Amino acid sequence: MLAGILSAARRNNPRDGITGALVCRQDLYLQLIEGPAEAIDALYARICEDDRHANVELLLSEDMGERLFPNWAMLDDTAPSLTWSAQDVAAGVLEAASPDELRAPFVRLSAANPGP
């Protein structure tokens, strides 16, 4: 299922001017999406309606200026870049995290993966 989601993202995101990264750890998926606000809103609506996604939660929405993943239609993180354990997530660490704390894994991932 994940391969299908990534394939569709890599096919459709360039058309919509969207870039980003998807971090997958066990049952936790964190995604950073960059692009025009209207395209991101439309994509987020599609994600929320897609039955392959459950418990979708928007943690942060802001204009970041420069993109972290300008060369990636959708980077799939295969390295252990997250700093939160499953227990941390269950205890609510993501909801309590600051914007800088939420961005940090993606900043590290971006630095390690400049482009395909």
The residues pairing with 19 across neighbouring beta strands, listed in sequence order, are: 34
Confidence at residue 25, expressed as pLDDT on a 0 to 100 scale: 76
Cβ-contact 68, 106 below 8 angstroms:
yes
32 contacts 21 by C-beta, under 8 angstroms:
yes
What are the domain boundaries of the chain? 2-112
The three-state secondary structure class of 104 is helix
pTM of the complete model: 0.83
Minimal CA–CA distance to 68: which of 5, 11, 114?
114
Amino acid at 90: A
Mean pLDDT of successive 10-residue segments in the chain (116 residues)?
86 95 82 94 93 88 91 81 76 92 88 82
Fold topology of 2-112: Alpha-Beta Plaits (3.30.70)
